[in-house]
Amino acid sequence: MKKDKELVKRLKRVYGLAVLLMLLSISAIANAVSPGMDEYAVKAAFVLNFARYTQWPEESFASPAEPFTLCVLGNKTIKSAFQELNGKKINDRTLDVHFMHKSKDVGQCDMMFIGKGVDPVLLLDILAAVKDKPVLTIGETKAFINDGGIINFFSRTGRLHFEINVIIARKNHLKLSSRLLKLAILVGEK
């Protein structure tokens, strides 16, 4: 009995260490963003990991093998970087990347990335269309969080950071890992 408890403790420590190392590597990538690196390739890698550390309600998917849909709205550079994610695995699901053009396209999305330069009216329409639905929204504009987005990228002193609106995530029935929350600047109550 005592040996079983010790084994469980060790396994938890090993698991915790593995997750911590993975998160530290993500943080290192963020700190390494330089003019020579592709900003959107780094952001796409973050988005993939955001999905891995987010839990959707069971009813969000018809079956355990149903693909996971990431919708992207942005320019050619953004599309090119995010296209590289198509076919990647998120747990047991295959990531299916779609490119949006209008707010009507959001019905199929489990997660979406909305790039800067998107018409503010279109952004508000998209965020209104997924309000209170299990869709993880990620953006990169100053007003994104205040407009109802969940995760927002920003740069400060040459480093890439992200903030999370925990209230909107909860309203959208999404459960974000505490490990992800520790790396973010939190907006709203915990």
Which of the 8 DSSP states describes residue 133? Answer: S
pLDDT tens, position by position, 105-136: 788 899 999 999 899 999 999 999 999 999 99
**Residue 104: which pLDDT band, with cuts at 50, 70 and 90?**
confident
The count of structural domains within the chain is 1
For 171, the domain range is 2-187
Structure confidence at residue 150 (pLDDT): 98
Structure confidence at residue 9 (pLDDT): 52
Structure confidence at residue 1 (pLDDT): 59
What's the CATH number where 111 sits? Answer: 3.40.50
pLDDT tens, position by position, 137-148: 999 999 999 999
Provide the residue count of the chain: 190
